[in-house]
Amino acid sequence: MTVIIIEDEKPAARRLNRMLLALGIDAKTMLHSVEESLNWLQNNEHPDLIFLDIQLSDGLSFEIFEEIDVKSAIIFTTAYDEYALKAFKLNSIDYLLKPLDEDELKFAVDMFKEKQPKQTNVQLNLDAIRKLLINPVDRKFKKRLTIKVGQHIKIINIDQVECFYSENKSTYIHTTENRNHLLDNSLEYWQEQLNPEHFFRVNRTVIVHINSIKDIIAFSNSRLKLILNSYIETEIIVSRERVKDFKSWID
């Protein structure tokens, strides 16, 4: 059985590996970020099992599945509360609540060995967990944001934003006034603050507003290219793994 650990806290990753070694399992690979995990999974045979933390150093681990069709079973290691963990149980995804318990770890591994869950179920479960963590029923989404322009604070209505995008480890908005503004928070932060009926994350670096899409063009490798009303800084490509969800979103 091949196993990898994806965990941004290196001491926690080493502790989990020691616990697995006691069960006769050697996780030879430990990864610590979304970017590192993407690079590894793109260039290596996927393992039988991944121990996966939700919050990594550069974003949520859900992003990995948006870019790559992962062929592995998943056991989450998480510090989320019991309400979120109910989703894991309901969707038959094993989980370990931090700090990890040896008996619970053994039980989770035994469950995996018995059931050998298929990856086709994992993506459905990830979507359900993401929705539950966001809790859209109770959530009040952002209606406006503020930016600093020189010595002034400017208020921008959220519907004036064509897209959010990341560039050189910074996050920006492009507005309907054809202006770019630097934001303080990450793209992952804004993804959780935006109404999913109006905004969609098309790839790792761009979130678009439904009203900003001027044209949709078929692109290579079953992807889509978006033309926005005024944003022309870079090409906006809907990643292949996101195309199906994107088409459902625009319907």
Give the confidence band of 136 by pLDDT, cuts at 50, 70, 90: very low
Task: Report the distance separating Cα 136 and Cα 140, nearest Å.
Answer: 8
pLDDT surpassing 70 at residue 117: no
pLDDT of residue 133 exceeding 60, the answer is no
Q: Which helix (H) or strand (E) holds 197?
A: none
Q: What is the pLDDT of residues 43-71, one digit of tens each?
A: 999 999 999 888 888 888 878 887 888 88
Q: Is the pLDDT of residue 26 over 60?
A: yes
pLDDT value of residue 87: 47
pLDDT at 5 over 80: yes
Return the percentage of the chain with pLDDT > 70, whole number. 85
Q: Which two tokens stand for residue 42?
A: 């793109």
Question: CA 222 → CA 17, 101, 105, 203, 244, distances in Å?
Answer: 38, 43, 39, 14, 10
List pLDDT tens digits, range 206-222: 999 999 999 999 998 88
53 contacts 94 by C-beta, under 8 angstroms: no
Q: 3-134 has which CATH code? A: 3.40.50.2300
| 164 C-beta neighbours (distance < 10 Å), count | 26
- What is the signed CA dihedral for 118, 42, 34, 158, rounded to 10 degrees? -90
Q: Does 93 score more than 80 pLDDT?
A: no
Find the mean pLDDT for residues 84-93. Answer: 49
Give the separation between CA 251 and CA 246, rounded to whole angstroms: 9
Mean pLDDT for the stretch of residues 76-97: 60
Instruction: Give the model's confidence band at 124: pLDDT under 50 very low, under 70 low, under 90 confident, else very high.
Output: very low
Q: CATH says 153-250 is which class?
A: mainly beta
Q: What is the mean pLDDT of the chain?
A: 84
pLDDT tens digits for range 161-192: 999 999 988 999 999 999 999 998 888 888 88
Do the beta carbons of residue 74 and residue 52 sit within 8 Å?
A: yes
**Residue ranges of the domains in the chain?**
3-134, 153-250
